[in-house]
Chains A and B, each alone.
Chain A
Amino acid sequence: DQQVKQNSPSLSVQEGRISILNCDYTNSMFDYFLWYKKYPAEGPTFLISISSIKDKNEDGRFTVFLNKSAKHLSLHIVPSQPGDSAVYFCAASALGGATNKLIFGTGTLLAVQP
Chain B
Amino acid sequence: NAGVMQNPRHLVRRRGQEARLRCSPMKGHSHVYWYRQLPEEGLKFMVYLQKENIIDESGMPKERFSAEFPKEGPSILRIQQVVRGDSAAYFCASSPQQGNYGYTFGSGTRLTVV
Contacts and interface: CB of A to CB of B under 8 A. Distances in A.
Q: Give the size category of B's interface with A.
A: 20 to 34
B48 A99 contact: yes
B7 to A, nearest CB: 13
B91 to A, nearest CB: 5
Contacts of B45: 101-103
Interface of B: 4, 6, 31, 33, 35, 40-45, 48, 55-56, 58-59, 91, 93, 95, 98-108
Contacts of B55: 98-99
A100 B91 contact: no
A98 B42 CA distance: 23
Interface stretch (A41-49, A68-76, A77-85): A41-49
A106 interface: yes
B100 to A, nearest CB: 7
B4 to A, nearest CB: 7
B3 to A, nearest CB: 9
B101 A34 contact: yes
Nearest to A34: B101
B85 to A, nearest CB: 18
A107 B95 contact: no
Given A41-B107, A44-B43, A105-B42, A100 B98 contact: yes
Given A100-B48, A100-B95, A101-B45, A49 B107 contact: no
